[in-house]
Amino acid sequence: MNILILTGSPRPNGNSNFLAERFAEGAKAAGHTVTHLDTAHLDVHPCIACEHCHNGSGTCTFHDGFTDIRRAIAKADAIVFAGPIYYFGLPAQLIAAIDRFYACGDDLKFPKKAALIVTLADTNPDTAAAAVLQFRKIAAYEGWADGGVLVAPGLWSAGDAKNSPYADQAYALGKSF
């Protein structure tokens, strides 16, 4: 399986990137190919609802970092979103990329499965409920099977995930794909 991981933290050595890497290690151990693209450092412009993509061409008016993401989605059997919780939701970096799915049309039919990894400082996992619900709604809308959700609360500083039980849980989630 060809798995695309989209991360969304501006902290390269942060918690969600670390868990995404552990997921990738597990997935590779299971024989999968993993591509990692980082929405936080790809210069993805937010959608401006210009409808250029729906004028028949299926192309976006912006030619930016999302071009690589779109190409990768069209080749992916599965897609994994990983990022921090910002104000009870997914961070703007991931949302900007997700909103650009608007232009992708049939490219989004290639992935058949999806997963979500989110990290948050609060020790109450319910703080991630809105992000989890959004992920599940998007997966259902796109027809992607729910491959699993890993909510990792209690992680504040970059590096906190390293000695947490979530490191092994992320690996196991990747291996389960």
Ligand X SMILES: Cc1cc2nc3c(=O)[nH]c(=O)nc-3n(C[C@H](O)[C@H](O)[C@H](O)COP(=O)(O)O)c2cc1C
Does 169 contact ligand X by CB under 6 A? no
- CB neighbour list of residue 125: distance below 8 Å, 6 or more residues apart: 151, 153
CA distance to 45, 57, 62, 107, 120, per residue, from 51 (Å): 15, 11, 12, 17, 35
x/- string (CB under 6 A) for ligand X, residues 55-94? Answer: -----------------------------xxxxx------
Query: Could you tell me the smallest distance in angstroms from the CB atom of residue 89 to ligand X?
Result: 8
By rule CB under 6 A, what count of residues binds ligand X?
A: 19
Give the DSSP H or E segment for 147. Answer: strand 145-152
Residue whose beta carbon is closest to ligand X: 14
Query: Could you tell me the smallest distance in angstroms from the CB atom of residue 36 to ligand X?
Result: 14
Q: How far from each other are the two terminal CA atoms of the chain, in whole angstroms?
A: 8
Closest to ligand X by CB, 119 or 169? 119
130 forms bridges with which residues in the sheet? Answer: none
Stretch that binds ligand X, among 12-20, 31-39, 68-76, 104-112 (CB under 6 A): 12-20
17-46 binders of ligand X (CB under 6 A): 17
Closest to ligand X by CB, 102 or 125? 125
* Closest alpha carbon to 135 in 176, 79, 177: 79
Other Cβ atoms less than 10 A from the Cβ of 34: the count is 22
* Chain positions contacting ligand X, by CB under 6 A: 9, 11, 14-17, 84-88, 119-122, 127, 155-156, 158
